[in-house]
Amino acid sequence: MEIAIAAILAVLIGLVIGAIGAFLVRRINDNRRYAAAKSEAEKVLEDANEQKRAVIIEAKEEAIRVRSEADSELRERRSELQRTETRVSNREENVERRANNLERREKILTVKEKEAEKLEQSLEELRQSELQQLEEIANLPIDEAKEILMRRAEEDIKHELAVQYRNVEEQAKEEANDKARSILALAIHRLAADVVSDVTLTSVPLPNDDMKGRLIGREGRNIRAIEKYTGVDLIIDDTPEAVTLSCFDPIRREVARLAITTLVADGRIHPARIEEMVAKAEKEVADSIWKSGEAAVFDVGVRGLNADIIRLLGRLKYRYSYGENVLQHSIEVAHLSGMIASEIGANVKIAKAGGLLHDLGKALTHEVEGPHAEIGADIATRHNVGKAICACIAEHHNDFMSSTEAFIVAAADAISAARPGSRKDTVENYIKRLQALEDVGRAFEGVEKCFAIQAGREVRIMVQPTEVDDATASKIARDVVKKIEDTLVYPGQIKVTVIRESRSIEYAR
């Protein structure tokens, strides 16, 4: 038991000694760590002091640099301020000098204004005295003198305007005439059309005079049958070996001509045969009308026309106006319209179609009342022809044209109708037209002589040079043209030339 106690004591003593040793070892380690930490802290503190000194030094250097920049900027601002003060002072001096100069000028102007007022007053007195002297000399009051001067000034202005208008008009006419002549001449030269006019066939040749009796028949039954089936009056007179057909409808006349020609050639003439031949002739004429219309459309190159329009166009083959075949005239107008339209940049198709159909109404003028232009336009409208083409048909005889193509068609129609050989006229009508033209020219004041020349295509008017000046001569030409257009009917166009000539004649003896 003592041994056990001794062992326990020994263990306790060992534990105490071990604890003391461990405490001492830990204390020694703590002292070492403390010493190391202290030395580390001293090193960090020393580094911090060095950085602090560096920062302080850098801050001082930056402060010195900023201060030096601020000082230099301050010096520059001070110098700029001094320069500004100098400029301001100079400007003040200049303003003072200008103010002094203005004061001097104002004084001078005041003096001059007073002198000008005195001069104006003296001039007004002189003007009033001159007016009084002029009134005394002229025995006219001021208002009447003013009226005379204004009237003279108005006359002078009118004269100047008339001269200026004449010059501008002549220049415009020259340019327009040159261009128009070039285009029309080119179109006419390009169209190689016949100028020989056809005539309406109104007689049928017979092989002998005995055939006249056969055409009359027993108790006139054959001639009555011919007139009944054809609607044509058969005139049998003393004309040798020929009979005459009389009818306003050219198509009926052509049917009768073909039927009688066939009957005469066949020799069998009786009412039944006459009816058969007339029916055959009507079919031939209808076929000829259709073929003529198709040929015209194909020749001109117009497409898309209604069959009724083509048939009416073919009927124009048997219609004549002033001795001119209307279908041939329409084809010619279509070609001329297309050429003119191509030269001036207008629509060639519309111009051609309008030219071809412009006299379409003449195919029905025996059946429908009214002008042929309106009839043709109505027919074309009902058969769905374009509005522009219908306008060309309706307006080709009007003074107002709604489109360039309508004007072209009217011009081409005038060209075709006015060319040599296109139309016939009697001598009596020709003389009457010339006399009417000369009467129109002589009706104006200052006209000495008037002559219608070139088959009525030109009127030359001689005026008295002492009564008519150049500007008035131009006005007379315009007035004559307007009166001709308003009062006379004529084909194509008429040129009016007013001649003012002054002659001085002396004789040496």
Q: Give the domain CATH number at 487.
A: 3.30.300.30
Q: Which of 223, 235, 222, 327 is nearest to 271 (CA)?
A: 222
What is the model's pLDDT at position 404?
A: 85
Residues 166 and 207 in one domain: no
Residues 464 and 397 in one domain: no
Instruction: State the SS3 of 297-311.
Output: HHHHCCCCCCHHHHH
What is the model's pLDDT at position 199?
A: 45
Tell me how far the alpha carbon of residue 127 is from its chain's centroid: 57
Judge if pTM exceeds 0.85.
Answer: no
Residue 373, judged by CB atoms within 10 A of its CB (0-12, 13-18, 19+), counts as buried
| Domain count across the chain | 4
What is the model's pLDDT at position 196?
A: 41
Residues 329 and 294 in one domain: yes
Q: Are 366 and 454 in contact (CB under 8 A)?
A: no
Residues 487 and 393 in one domain: no
State how far the Cα of 471 lies from the Cα of 303, in Å rounded to an integer: 52
Q: Report which secondary-structure segment, H or E, holds 458.
A: strand 458-463
Q: Which of 466, 188, 485, 444 is nearest to 338 (CA)?
A: 188
Residue 193, in any domain of the structure = no
Residue 146, in any domain of the structure = yes
Q: Which of 187, 199, 186 is nearest to 421 (CA)?
A: 199
With vertex at residue 303, the alpha carbon angle to CA 298 and CA 305, rounded to the nearest 5 degrees, is: 105
Which residues share a beta bridge with 185? none
Residues 216 and 365 in one domain: yes
Residue 191, in any domain of the structure = no
Domain boundary among 418, 442, 465: 418
Domain boundary among 418, 452, 467: 418
Residue 133, in any domain of the structure = no
- How far lies 100's CA from each of 114, 301, 399, in Å? 22, 93, 78
Phi-psi region of 445 (alpha: psi -120 to 50; beta: other; left: phi over 0): beta
Q: Are 410 and 382 in contact (CB under 8 A)?
A: no
What is the model's pLDDT at position 322?
A: 65
Q: Which of 321, 254, 343, 201 is nearest to 329 (CA)?
A: 321
Residue range(s) defining the domain that contains residue 279: 203-418
The β-bridge relationship of strands 320-321 and 324-325 is antiparallel
Residues ≥6 apart with Cβ < 8 Å to 254: 201, 285, 318
Residues 289 and 369 in one domain: yes
Count of residues for the chain? Answer: 509
- How far lies 255's CA from each of 57, 120, 226, 262, in Å? 137, 101, 11, 11
Residues 431 and 414 in one domain: no
Q: Are 317 and 289 in contact (CB under 8 A)?
A: yes
What is the model's pLDDT at position 198?
A: 42
Concatenate the DSSP letters of all residues of 215-243 into one string.
Answer: HH-GGGHHHHHHHHHH--EEE--S-TTEE
Q: Are 459 and 483 in contact (CB under 8 A)?
A: no
Count CB-CB contacts under 10 A for residue 64: 10
Residue 219, in any domain of the structure = yes
What is the model's pLDDT at position 197?
A: 42
With vertex at residue 441, the alpha carbon angle to CA 439 and CA 445, rounded to the nearest 5 degrees, is: 110
State how far the Cα of 297 lies from the Cα of 217, in Å rounded to an integer: 44
Residues 216 and 309 in one domain: yes
Rg (CA), the chain: 60
Amino acid at 42: E
Count CB-CB contacts under 10 A for residue 308: 12
Residues 265 and 345 in one domain: yes
What is the model's pLDDT at position 365?
A: 62
With vertex at residue 51, the alpha carbon angle to CA 48 and CA 52, rounded to the nearest 5 degrees, is: 85
Residue 160, in any domain of the structure = yes
Tell me how far the alpha carbon of residue 236 is from its chain's centroid: 61
Would you give the DSSP letter of residue 424?
A: -
Domain boundary among 418, 451, 479: 418
State how far the Cα of 281 lies from the Cα of 75, in Å rounded to an integer: 127
Count CB-CB contacts under 10 A for residue 378: 18
Per-residue pLDDT of the chain (509 residues; tens, 9 = 90+): 667 777 777 777 877 787 787 777 777 877 778 778 888 888 888 888 888 888 888 888 888 888 888 888 888 888 888 888 888 888 888 888 888 888 888 888 888 888 888 888 888 888 777 767 666 665 656 667 677 767 777 777 777 777 777 777 777 777 776 676 666 555 655 554 544 444 444 677 888 877 878 888 888 888 888 888 888 888 887 777 788 888 777 788 888 888 888 888 888 888 888 888 888 888 988 888 888 888 888 888 888 888 888 888 888 888 877 667 888 888 888 888 888 888 888 888 888 888 888 888 888 766 677 778 888 888 888 888 888 888 888 888 776 778 888 888 888 887 777 665 555 554 566 678 888 888 888 888 888 889 888 767 788 999 988 888 888 888 888 889 888 888 887 666 788 899 887 766 676 76
Residues 438 and 412 in one domain: no
Residues 174 and 267 in one domain: no
Q: What is the CATH number of the domain that holds 318?
A: 1.10.3210
Q: Are 244 and 203 in contact (CB under 8 A)?
A: yes
Q: What share of the chain is helix, strand, coil (3-state, %, to 5)?
A: 70, 5, 20
Residue 190, in any domain of the structure = no
Residues ≥6 apart with Cβ < 8 Å to 34: none
Residue 120, in any domain of the structure = no
Amino acid at 38: K
Residues 219 and 172 in one domain: no
